[in-house]
Amino acid sequence: MAKSDRNTAIAEITDKFRNSGAAVLTEYRGLTVAQLAELRKNLRGNATYSVVKNTLAEIAAKNAGVDAFEGHLVGPTAIAFIDGDPVDAAKALRDFSKDNPLLVIKAGVLDGKALNAEEISKLANLESREVLLAKLAGAMNASLSKAVYLFAAPLSQTARVVDALRAKVETEGSEAA
């Protein structure tokens, strides 16, 4: 590879690292071109899946300040650069690796934090962002309903006490007459 091509490739991979919210390092040894195309199709919208040379990826990762892949850049390597929902991309990688055990998830990085394969699997088991936000909104709504009830309870109790006192005064007044 010519030096200018090498520098261009390193700059391109560095930009992908910097512009991605997350990245997952995989080994694709034994997968066919058709299987890789299927994986790219499954990741579409959330990530781009790029086959990279280990030395170029190592230099680009260092340039981008990513140290999560140190020691993992061996064998045929590809990186999923995630620019969409990391949970959806992790699910797509997990599901594909279940059907195609030759895809090995090695490591990852999410918002600058290094992830191992087990942590990526845990990420894949999370519900999507929209579902989590809906659950949060439901919990907040329930909390607000409880708060409204708690604030209204003393007023309704006071009203019942006043009504009971009024009824008592009326019955005492009618007994005295």
pLDDT tens digit sequence for 57-96? 999 988 888 888 888 888 899 999 998 888 888 899 999 9
Report yes or no: 81 and 73 within 8 Å, Cβ to Cβ.
no
* Shared-domain flag, residues 29 and 39: yes
* Shared-domain flag, residues 105 and 148: no
Q: What residue numbers bound the domain in which 151 lies?
A: 128-177
Max intra-chain CA distance, the chain: 114
- pLDDT score recorded for residue 1: 67
- pLDDT score recorded for residue 176: 64
First-last CA distance in the chain: 113
CATH number, domain of 82, equals 3.30.70.1730
Report yes or no: 34 and 66 within 8 Å, Cβ to Cβ.
no
Instruction: Give the burial string for 138-156 (b: 16+ CB within 10 Å, else e).
Output: eeeeeeeeeeeeeeeeeee
* Shared-domain flag, residues 10 and 86: yes
Q: How far apart are CA 64 and CA 59, in angstroms?
A: 9
- The segments of the chain whose pLDDT lies below 50 read none
* Shared-domain flag, residues 114 and 155: no
- pLDDT score recorded for residue 122: 84
* Shared-domain flag, residues 117 and 102: yes
- pLDDT score recorded for residue 5: 85
Domains identified in the chain, total number: 2
* Shared-domain flag, residues 77 and 147: no
- pLDDT score recorded for residue 81: 93
- pLDDT score recorded for residue 96: 92
